[in-house]
Amino acid sequence: MKNFFKAFTVPEIRRKIFVVALWLVIFRLLAAIPVPGIDVARLQSILGENQLLGFLNLFSGGGLSNLSVMMLGVGPYITATIIMQLLTMISSRVKEMYYEGGAAGKAKFNKISRYLTVPLAALQGFGFLNLLKSQGVLPELTAMNLLENIIVITAGSMILTWIGELISEQKIGNGISLIIFAGIVSGLPLTIQNLILGYSTELLTTYVVFALLSIVIIAGVVFVSEGERKIPITYAKRVRGNKIYGGATSYLPLKVNQAGVIPIIFAISILLFPQFIAQISAVFSTSLSLTLQGWVGAIFNNLILYTILYFLLVVIFTYFYTAITFNPDEIAKNLQQSGGFVPGIRPGEPTTQFLKSTTGRITLFGALFLGIVAVLPNLVQLFTGLRAFTLGGTALLIVVAVALEIARQISSQLTVREYEGIGY
Protein backbone atom coordinates (compact mmCIF):
# COMPACT_ATOMS: atom_id res chain seq x y z
CA MET A 1 0.00 0.00 0.00
CA LYS A 2 2.90 2.33 0.79
CA ASN A 3 4.37 1.76 -2.68
CA PHE A 4 0.98 2.37 -4.28
CA PHE A 5 0.72 5.85 -2.77
CA LYS A 6 4.39 6.50 -3.51
CA ALA A 7 3.74 5.65 -7.17
CA PHE A 8 1.43 8.67 -7.44
CA THR A 9 4.35 10.95 -6.57
CA VAL A 10 6.19 9.76 -9.71
CA PRO A 11 4.75 11.53 -12.80
CA GLU A 12 5.57 8.72 -15.24
CA ILE A 13 4.07 5.92 -13.11
CA ARG A 14 1.09 8.12 -12.18
CA ARG A 15 0.42 8.70 -15.89
CA LYS A 16 0.55 4.94 -16.56
CA ILE A 17 -1.93 4.23 -13.75
CA PHE A 18 -4.33 6.87 -15.09
CA VAL A 19 -4.02 5.50 -18.65
CA VAL A 20 -4.82 1.97 -17.42
CA ALA A 21 -7.76 3.29 -15.38
CA LEU A 22 -9.07 5.22 -18.42
CA TRP A 23 -9.00 2.12 -20.64
CA LEU A 24 -10.76 0.08 -17.96
CA VAL A 25 -13.48 2.75 -17.67
CA ILE A 26 -13.93 2.66 -21.47
CA PHE A 27 -14.20 -1.13 -21.28
CA ARG A 28 -16.90 -0.91 -18.59
CA LEU A 29 -18.85 1.64 -20.66
CA LEU A 30 -18.72 -0.63 -23.73
CA ALA A 31 -19.74 -3.61 -21.57
CA ALA A 32 -22.93 -1.72 -20.68
CA ILE A 33 -24.14 -1.56 -24.32
CA PRO A 34 -26.60 -4.48 -24.72
CA VAL A 35 -27.61 -6.47 -27.76
CA PRO A 36 -31.21 -5.35 -28.56
CA GLY A 37 -34.23 -7.51 -27.75
CA ILE A 38 -32.94 -9.48 -24.74
CA ASP A 39 -35.03 -10.80 -21.86
CA VAL A 40 -32.93 -9.55 -18.93
CA ALA A 41 -34.83 -11.45 -16.21
CA ARG A 42 -34.53 -14.73 -18.12
CA LEU A 43 -30.83 -14.10 -18.75
CA GLN A 44 -30.09 -13.49 -15.05
CA SER A 45 -31.96 -16.67 -14.15
CA ILE A 46 -29.92 -18.76 -16.62
CA LEU A 47 -26.61 -17.23 -15.46
CA GLY A 48 -27.45 -18.28 -11.90
CA GLU A 49 -28.31 -21.84 -12.92
CA ASN A 50 -25.74 -22.53 -15.65
CA GLN A 51 -22.15 -22.78 -14.35
CA LEU A 52 -20.77 -22.68 -17.92
CA LEU A 53 -22.39 -19.30 -18.58
CA GLY A 54 -21.35 -18.12 -15.12
CA PHE A 55 -17.69 -18.78 -15.90
CA LEU A 56 -18.06 -17.18 -19.33
CA ASN A 57 -19.55 -14.10 -17.67
CA LEU A 58 -16.43 -14.05 -15.48
CA PHE A 59 -14.18 -14.06 -18.56
CA SER A 60 -16.23 -11.39 -20.31
CA GLY A 61 -15.67 -9.07 -17.36
CA GLY A 62 -19.41 -9.09 -16.67
CA GLY A 63 -20.30 -8.36 -20.30
CA LEU A 64 -22.45 -11.48 -20.60
CA SER A 65 -24.65 -10.54 -17.61
CA ASN A 66 -26.44 -7.92 -19.73
CA LEU A 67 -25.57 -9.53 -23.10
CA SER A 68 -23.48 -6.57 -24.18
CA VAL A 69 -21.49 -6.21 -27.39
CA MET A 70 -18.55 -7.34 -25.21
CA MET A 71 -20.32 -10.57 -24.25
CA LEU A 72 -17.43 -12.78 -25.46
CA GLY A 73 -14.87 -10.82 -23.47
CA VAL A 74 -11.26 -11.93 -23.86
CA GLY A 75 -12.19 -15.63 -24.06
CA PRO A 76 -11.49 -16.03 -27.81
CA TYR A 77 -8.10 -14.33 -27.48
CA ILE A 78 -7.15 -16.54 -24.52
CA THR A 79 -8.09 -19.63 -26.56
CA ALA A 80 -6.07 -18.34 -29.54
CA THR A 81 -3.07 -17.69 -27.27
CA ILE A 82 -3.24 -21.22 -25.84
CA ILE A 83 -3.39 -22.71 -29.35
CA MET A 84 -0.36 -20.67 -30.46
CA GLN A 85 1.62 -21.55 -27.34
CA LEU A 86 0.86 -25.24 -27.88
CA LEU A 87 2.07 -24.90 -31.47
CA THR A 88 5.51 -23.87 -30.15
CA MET A 89 5.77 -27.41 -28.78
CA ILE A 90 4.59 -29.05 -32.03
CA SER A 91 5.94 -26.88 -34.85
CA SER A 92 9.67 -26.12 -35.01
CA ARG A 93 8.90 -23.14 -37.24
CA VAL A 94 6.56 -21.53 -34.69
CA LYS A 95 9.00 -22.36 -31.88
CA GLU A 96 11.87 -20.69 -33.76
CA MET A 97 9.72 -17.62 -34.48
CA TYR A 98 8.79 -17.23 -30.80
CA TYR A 99 12.05 -18.10 -29.05
CA GLU A 100 14.71 -17.08 -31.56
CA GLY A 101 13.02 -14.37 -33.58
CA GLY A 102 13.62 -11.65 -31.00
CA ALA A 103 11.15 -8.76 -30.68
CA ALA A 104 10.12 -9.09 -34.35
CA GLY A 105 9.37 -12.80 -33.90
CA LYS A 106 7.23 -12.21 -30.81
CA ALA A 107 5.41 -9.37 -32.58
CA LYS A 108 4.60 -11.70 -35.51
CA PHE A 109 3.53 -14.42 -33.05
CA ASN A 110 1.12 -12.02 -31.32
CA LYS A 111 -0.16 -10.80 -34.69
CA ILE A 112 -1.05 -14.37 -35.73
CA SER A 113 -2.77 -14.85 -32.34
CA ARG A 114 -4.94 -11.80 -33.06
CA TYR A 115 -5.85 -13.10 -36.53
CA LEU A 116 -6.79 -16.47 -35.01
CA THR A 117 -9.02 -14.68 -32.50
CA VAL A 118 -11.39 -13.51 -35.28
CA PRO A 119 -12.71 -16.93 -36.44
CA LEU A 120 -12.78 -18.19 -32.84
CA ALA A 121 -14.83 -15.16 -31.76
CA ALA A 122 -17.22 -15.61 -34.71
CA LEU A 123 -17.65 -19.32 -33.88
CA GLN A 124 -18.28 -18.59 -30.20
CA GLY A 125 -20.66 -15.77 -31.10
CA PHE A 126 -22.68 -18.10 -33.31
CA GLY A 127 -22.85 -20.69 -30.54
CA PHE A 128 -23.87 -18.19 -27.86
CA LEU A 129 -26.60 -16.58 -29.89
CA ASN A 130 -28.15 -19.95 -30.73
CA LEU A 131 -27.84 -21.14 -27.13
CA LEU A 132 -29.47 -17.98 -25.76
CA LYS A 133 -32.18 -18.12 -28.43
CA SER A 134 -33.00 -21.71 -27.45
CA GLN A 135 -33.26 -20.60 -23.78
CA GLY A 136 -35.73 -17.83 -24.61
CA VAL A 137 -33.33 -14.98 -23.83
CA LEU A 138 -33.27 -13.78 -27.45
CA PRO A 139 -36.16 -13.65 -29.94
CA GLU A 140 -36.05 -15.57 -33.23
CA LEU A 141 -33.34 -14.09 -35.46
CA THR A 142 -33.35 -13.91 -39.23
CA ALA A 143 -30.19 -15.04 -41.03
CA MET A 144 -29.25 -11.39 -41.60
CA ASN A 145 -29.86 -10.42 -37.96
CA LEU A 146 -27.79 -13.40 -36.82
CA LEU A 147 -24.93 -12.38 -39.12
CA GLU A 148 -25.10 -8.76 -37.95
CA ASN A 149 -24.97 -9.78 -34.29
CA ILE A 150 -22.04 -12.15 -34.91
CA ILE A 151 -20.11 -9.34 -36.62
CA VAL A 152 -20.87 -6.89 -33.77
CA ILE A 153 -19.83 -9.20 -30.93
CA THR A 154 -16.75 -10.40 -32.86
CA ALA A 155 -15.74 -6.77 -33.30
CA GLY A 156 -16.40 -6.22 -29.58
CA SER A 157 -14.07 -9.08 -28.66
CA MET A 158 -11.34 -7.72 -30.95
CA ILE A 159 -11.70 -4.21 -29.48
CA LEU A 160 -11.37 -5.69 -26.00
CA THR A 161 -8.26 -7.62 -27.08
CA TRP A 162 -6.78 -4.37 -28.41
CA ILE A 163 -7.59 -2.59 -25.12
CA GLY A 164 -5.89 -5.43 -23.23
CA GLU A 165 -2.71 -5.01 -25.27
CA LEU A 166 -2.72 -1.24 -24.72
CA ILE A 167 -3.02 -1.85 -20.97
CA SER A 168 -0.16 -4.39 -21.03
CA GLU A 169 2.10 -1.81 -22.71
CA GLN A 170 1.87 0.35 -19.58
CA LYS A 171 3.53 -2.46 -17.54
CA ILE A 172 1.04 -2.12 -14.66
CA GLY A 173 -0.08 -5.74 -14.92
CA ASN A 174 -1.28 -8.07 -17.66
CA GLY A 175 -4.01 -6.40 -19.74
CA ILE A 176 -6.16 -9.52 -20.15
CA SER A 177 -6.00 -10.29 -16.41
CA LEU A 178 -6.83 -6.66 -15.56
CA ILE A 179 -9.93 -6.72 -17.78
CA ILE A 180 -11.21 -9.82 -15.98
CA PHE A 181 -10.22 -8.21 -12.66
CA ALA A 182 -12.13 -5.01 -13.49
CA GLY A 183 -15.23 -6.96 -14.46
CA ILE A 184 -15.22 -8.90 -11.19
CA VAL A 185 -14.56 -5.82 -9.03
CA SER A 186 -17.28 -3.81 -10.79
CA GLY A 187 -19.81 -6.39 -9.63
CA LEU A 188 -18.72 -6.29 -5.98
CA PRO A 189 -21.11 -3.51 -4.82
CA LEU A 190 -24.13 -5.42 -6.15
CA THR A 191 -22.84 -8.69 -4.68
CA ILE A 192 -22.36 -7.10 -1.24
CA GLN A 193 -25.81 -5.50 -1.46
CA ASN A 194 -27.41 -8.86 -2.31
CA LEU A 195 -25.55 -10.54 0.57
CA ILE A 196 -26.79 -7.94 3.05
CA LEU A 197 -30.39 -7.86 1.80
CA GLY A 198 -30.58 -11.64 1.44
CA TYR A 199 -29.15 -12.47 4.86
CA SER A 200 -31.11 -14.74 7.15
CA THR A 201 -30.23 -16.98 10.08
CA GLU A 202 -30.82 -20.05 7.88
CA LEU A 203 -27.91 -18.91 5.68
CA LEU A 204 -25.51 -18.34 8.58
CA THR A 205 -23.60 -21.58 7.89
CA THR A 206 -23.20 -20.63 4.22
CA TYR A 207 -21.84 -17.20 5.13
CA VAL A 208 -19.39 -18.63 7.67
CA VAL A 209 -18.11 -21.27 5.24
CA PHE A 210 -17.64 -18.65 2.51
CA ALA A 211 -15.79 -16.33 4.93
CA LEU A 212 -13.43 -19.14 5.98
CA LEU A 213 -12.91 -20.19 2.36
CA SER A 214 -12.11 -16.59 1.41
CA ILE A 215 -9.47 -16.33 4.15
CA VAL A 216 -7.85 -19.61 3.05
CA ILE A 217 -7.82 -18.57 -0.63
CA ILE A 218 -6.35 -15.13 0.11
CA ALA A 219 -3.67 -16.59 2.40
CA GLY A 220 -2.87 -19.32 -0.12
CA VAL A 221 -2.55 -16.97 -3.10
CA VAL A 222 -0.37 -14.53 -1.15
CA PHE A 223 1.85 -17.38 0.08
CA VAL A 224 2.35 -18.84 -3.39
CA SER A 225 2.71 -15.48 -5.16
CA GLU A 226 5.22 -13.99 -2.72
CA GLY A 227 7.30 -17.13 -2.05
CA GLU A 228 10.72 -17.22 -3.72
CA ARG A 229 14.03 -19.07 -3.68
CA LYS A 230 17.05 -16.77 -3.58
CA ILE A 231 20.01 -18.07 -5.60
CA PRO A 232 23.29 -16.41 -4.45
CA ILE A 233 25.29 -14.76 -7.23
CA THR A 234 28.95 -13.77 -6.83
CA TYR A 235 30.70 -11.44 -9.27
CA ALA A 236 34.38 -12.06 -10.03
CA LYS A 237 36.89 -9.34 -9.16
CA ARG A 238 38.46 -7.45 -12.07
CA VAL A 239 41.50 -5.21 -11.81
CA ARG A 240 41.74 -2.15 -14.05
CA GLY A 241 44.74 0.02 -13.31
CA ASN A 242 44.76 0.72 -9.60
CA LYS A 243 41.06 -0.05 -9.15
CA ILE A 244 39.33 -3.34 -8.35
CA TYR A 245 35.86 -3.92 -9.79
CA GLY A 246 33.34 -6.64 -8.91
CA GLY A 247 33.64 -9.01 -6.00
CA ALA A 248 30.10 -8.15 -4.90
CA THR A 249 27.49 -10.71 -3.91
CA SER A 250 23.87 -10.53 -4.99
CA TYR A 251 21.06 -13.02 -5.46
CA LEU A 252 18.71 -14.19 -8.21
CA PRO A 253 15.10 -14.48 -6.94
CA LEU A 254 13.20 -17.46 -8.39
CA LYS A 255 9.46 -17.15 -7.70
CA VAL A 256 7.60 -20.20 -6.44
CA ASN A 257 4.83 -19.28 -8.87
CA GLN A 258 6.23 -17.34 -11.82
CA ALA A 259 3.08 -17.78 -13.90
CA GLY A 260 0.77 -15.78 -11.62
CA VAL A 261 -2.94 -16.25 -12.26
CA ILE A 262 -2.49 -17.21 -15.93
CA PRO A 263 -2.59 -21.02 -15.30
CA ILE A 264 -6.03 -20.69 -13.70
CA ILE A 265 -7.35 -18.55 -16.55
CA PHE A 266 -5.92 -20.98 -19.12
CA ALA A 267 -7.29 -24.03 -17.25
CA ILE A 268 -10.81 -22.59 -17.09
CA SER A 269 -10.63 -21.69 -20.80
CA ILE A 270 -9.70 -25.26 -21.71
CA LEU A 271 -12.49 -26.65 -19.52
CA LEU A 272 -15.04 -24.30 -21.08
CA PHE A 273 -14.08 -25.05 -24.69
CA PRO A 274 -15.52 -28.61 -25.02
CA GLN A 275 -18.67 -27.51 -23.18
CA PHE A 276 -18.98 -24.63 -25.60
CA ILE A 277 -18.49 -26.90 -28.65
CA ALA A 278 -21.18 -29.22 -27.28
CA GLN A 279 -23.56 -26.25 -26.97
CA ILE A 280 -22.88 -25.28 -30.60
CA SER A 281 -23.36 -28.85 -31.85
CA ALA A 282 -26.76 -28.96 -30.12
CA VAL A 283 -28.03 -26.55 -32.80
CA PHE A 284 -27.65 -29.24 -35.49
CA SER A 285 -29.29 -32.13 -33.55
CA THR A 286 -27.33 -34.87 -35.32
CA SER A 287 -26.31 -38.23 -33.85
CA LEU A 288 -22.72 -36.95 -33.60
CA SER A 289 -23.80 -33.84 -31.71
CA LEU A 290 -25.90 -35.93 -29.31
CA THR A 291 -22.94 -38.25 -28.69
CA LEU A 292 -20.66 -35.26 -28.08
CA GLN A 293 -23.14 -33.71 -25.65
CA GLY A 294 -23.39 -37.03 -23.83
CA TRP A 295 -19.61 -37.33 -23.42
CA VAL A 296 -19.20 -33.73 -22.31
CA GLY A 297 -22.12 -34.02 -19.90
CA ALA A 298 -20.74 -37.23 -18.41
CA ILE A 299 -17.38 -35.57 -17.72
CA PHE A 300 -18.40 -32.10 -16.61
CA ASN A 301 -21.47 -33.06 -14.59
CA ASN A 302 -19.28 -35.37 -12.52
CA LEU A 303 -17.89 -32.97 -9.91
CA ILE A 304 -15.11 -35.33 -8.78
CA LEU A 305 -13.83 -35.88 -12.34
CA TYR A 306 -14.22 -32.17 -13.15
CA THR A 307 -12.24 -31.19 -10.03
CA ILE A 308 -9.41 -33.64 -10.82
CA LEU A 309 -9.25 -32.38 -14.41
CA TYR A 310 -9.22 -28.74 -13.25
CA PHE A 311 -6.43 -29.46 -10.75
CA LEU A 312 -4.27 -31.26 -13.35
CA LEU A 313 -4.75 -28.46 -15.89
CA VAL A 314 -3.68 -25.79 -13.37
CA VAL A 315 -0.53 -27.80 -12.55
CA ILE A 316 0.26 -28.42 -16.24
CA PHE A 317 -0.27 -24.80 -17.26
CA THR A 318 1.85 -23.56 -14.34
CA TYR A 319 4.77 -25.59 -15.71
CA PHE A 320 3.88 -24.69 -19.30
CA TYR A 321 3.73 -20.92 -18.74
CA THR A 322 6.84 -20.94 -16.53
CA ALA A 323 8.76 -22.72 -19.32
CA ILE A 324 7.68 -20.00 -21.75
CA THR A 325 8.46 -16.98 -19.57
CA PHE A 326 11.58 -18.23 -17.75
CA ASN A 327 14.68 -18.76 -19.92
CA PRO A 328 17.58 -20.40 -17.97
CA ASP A 329 19.86 -20.32 -21.03
CA GLU A 330 19.57 -16.56 -21.39
CA ILE A 331 20.03 -15.95 -17.65
CA ALA A 332 23.14 -18.18 -17.54
CA LYS A 333 24.53 -16.40 -20.60
CA ASN A 334 23.95 -12.94 -19.10
CA LEU A 335 25.56 -13.99 -15.81
CA GLN A 336 28.63 -15.31 -17.62
CA GLN A 337 28.99 -12.14 -19.68
CA SER A 338 28.75 -9.94 -16.58
CA GLY A 339 31.26 -12.04 -14.62
CA GLY A 340 28.65 -13.49 -12.28
CA PHE A 341 28.36 -17.10 -11.16
CA VAL A 342 26.53 -19.30 -8.68
CA PRO A 343 28.98 -20.44 -5.95
CA GLY A 344 29.90 -24.08 -6.52
CA ILE A 345 28.43 -24.11 -10.05
CA ARG A 346 30.53 -23.58 -13.17
CA PRO A 347 29.39 -20.81 -15.58
CA GLY A 348 27.67 -21.71 -18.84
CA GLU A 349 25.83 -25.01 -19.35
CA PRO A 350 26.21 -26.23 -15.71
CA THR A 351 24.53 -23.00 -14.53
CA THR A 352 21.73 -23.52 -17.06
CA GLN A 353 21.11 -27.06 -15.81
CA PHE A 354 21.22 -25.88 -12.18
CA LEU A 355 18.61 -23.18 -12.87
CA LYS A 356 16.40 -25.66 -14.74
CA SER A 357 16.47 -28.24 -11.94
CA THR A 358 15.95 -25.61 -9.22
CA THR A 359 13.05 -24.01 -11.10
CA GLY A 360 11.51 -27.44 -11.70
CA ARG A 361 11.53 -28.26 -7.99
CA ILE A 362 10.07 -25.00 -6.72
CA THR A 363 7.55 -24.84 -9.58
CA LEU A 364 6.27 -28.29 -8.58
CA PHE A 365 5.47 -26.99 -5.09
CA GLY A 366 3.93 -23.79 -6.47
CA ALA A 367 1.88 -25.66 -9.08
CA LEU A 368 0.50 -28.18 -6.57
CA PHE A 369 -0.34 -25.47 -4.04
CA LEU A 370 -1.99 -23.26 -6.69
CA GLY A 371 -3.95 -26.26 -7.95
CA ILE A 372 -5.24 -27.03 -4.45
CA VAL A 373 -6.25 -23.41 -3.87
CA ALA A 374 -7.98 -23.33 -7.29
CA VAL A 375 -10.14 -26.40 -6.59
CA LEU A 376 -11.00 -25.47 -2.98
CA PRO A 377 -14.44 -24.08 -3.99
CA ASN A 378 -15.16 -27.34 -5.84
CA LEU A 379 -14.11 -29.35 -2.78
CA VAL A 380 -16.43 -27.28 -0.59
CA GLN A 381 -19.28 -28.00 -3.01
CA LEU A 382 -18.34 -31.69 -3.08
CA PHE A 383 -18.42 -32.12 0.70
CA THR A 384 -21.15 -29.63 1.66
CA GLY A 385 -23.34 -29.47 -1.45
CA LEU A 386 -23.14 -25.65 -1.46
CA ARG A 387 -22.80 -24.56 -5.11
CA ALA A 388 -22.57 -20.84 -4.39
CA PHE A 389 -18.82 -20.97 -3.74
CA THR A 390 -17.57 -22.25 -7.11
CA LEU A 391 -17.84 -18.98 -9.04
CA GLY A 392 -17.25 -16.76 -5.99
CA GLY A 393 -14.11 -18.65 -4.98
CA THR A 394 -12.67 -18.54 -8.50
CA ALA A 395 -13.42 -14.82 -8.79
CA LEU A 396 -11.75 -14.14 -5.43
CA LEU A 397 -8.72 -16.18 -6.51
CA ILE A 398 -8.31 -14.11 -9.68
CA VAL A 399 -8.85 -10.77 -7.90
CA VAL A 400 -6.23 -11.47 -5.20
CA ALA A 401 -3.65 -12.80 -7.68
CA VAL A 402 -4.09 -9.85 -10.08
CA ALA A 403 -3.95 -7.32 -7.21
CA LEU A 404 -0.64 -8.84 -6.05
CA GLU A 405 0.71 -8.71 -9.61
CA ILE A 406 -0.23 -5.00 -9.90
CA ALA A 407 1.51 -4.27 -6.58
CA ARG A 408 4.59 -6.21 -7.74
CA GLN A 409 4.77 -4.33 -11.06
CA ILE A 410 4.48 -0.94 -9.37
CA SER A 411 7.11 -1.91 -6.78
CA SER A 412 9.42 -3.09 -9.58
CA GLN A 413 9.12 0.21 -11.44
CA LEU A 414 9.85 2.18 -8.26
CA THR A 415 12.91 -0.01 -7.56
CA VAL A 416 14.26 0.52 -11.08
CA ARG A 417 13.98 4.27 -10.66
CA GLU A 418 15.87 4.07 -7.37
CA TYR A 419 18.72 2.13 -8.99
CA GLU A 420 18.83 4.59 -11.88
CA GLY A 421 18.99 7.46 -9.41
CA ILE A 422 15.98 9.20 -10.93
CA GLY A 423 14.32 9.71 -7.58
CA TYR A 424 10.75 10.63 -6.86
- Among 163, 196, 229, the domain boundary falls at 196
Write out pLDDT tens, residues 310-339: 899 999 989 888 888 888 888 888 888 877
User: Are 70 and 216 in the same domain?
Assistant: no
Please report, for residues 26, 115, 227, 336, the alpha-carbon distance to residue 149 in angstroms, rounded to integers and kept in the order given.
21, 20, 46, 56
User: Are 177 and 310 in the same domain?
Assistant: no
- Among 155, 179, 196, the domain boundary falls at 196
Which positions ≥6 away from 249 have C-beta within 8 Å? 232, 233, 234, 235
User: Are 388 and 372 in the same domain?
Assistant: yes
User: Are 172 and 235 in the same domain?
Assistant: no
User: CA geometry: angle at 96 spanning 94 and 101, to 5°?
Assistant: 110
The DSSP output letter for 68 is: B
Give the pLDDT score at 206: 73
Task: Please state, in angstroms and rounded to a whole number, the distance separating the CA atoms of residues 62 and 206.
Answer: 24
User: Are 171 and 31 in the same domain?
Assistant: yes
User: Are 132 and 174 in the same domain?
Assistant: yes
Look at the alpha carbons of 298, 58, 107, 159 in this order and tell me if their dihedral is positive or negative.
Answer: positive
- Considering only CA atoms, which of 180, 176, 118, 179 is closest in space to residue 150? 118
Range of the domain at 272: 199-424
User: Are 147 and 269 in the same domain?
Assistant: no
Give the pLDDT score at 389: 59
Classify burial at 153, counting beta carbons within 10 Å of its beta carbon; exposed 0-12, middle 13-18, buried 19 or more: buried
User: Are 110 and 206 in the same domain?
Assistant: no
Task: Please state, in angstroms and rounded to a whole number, the distance separating the CA atoms of residues 406 and 150.
Answer: 34
User: Are 45 and 184 in the same domain?
Assistant: yes
User: Are 267 and 335 in the same domain?
Assistant: yes
Give the pLDDT score at 185: 82
CATH code for the domain in which residue 165 is found: 1.10.3370.10
Give the pLDDT score at 143: 81
Q: How many domains does the chain have?
A: 2
User: Are 155 and 252 in the same domain?
Assistant: no
Residue 31 near residue 163, CB atoms below 8 Å: no
- Among 149, 164, 196, the domain boundary falls at 196
User: Are 206 and 181 in the same domain?
Assistant: no
Which residues of the chain carry a pLDDT beneath 50? 422-424
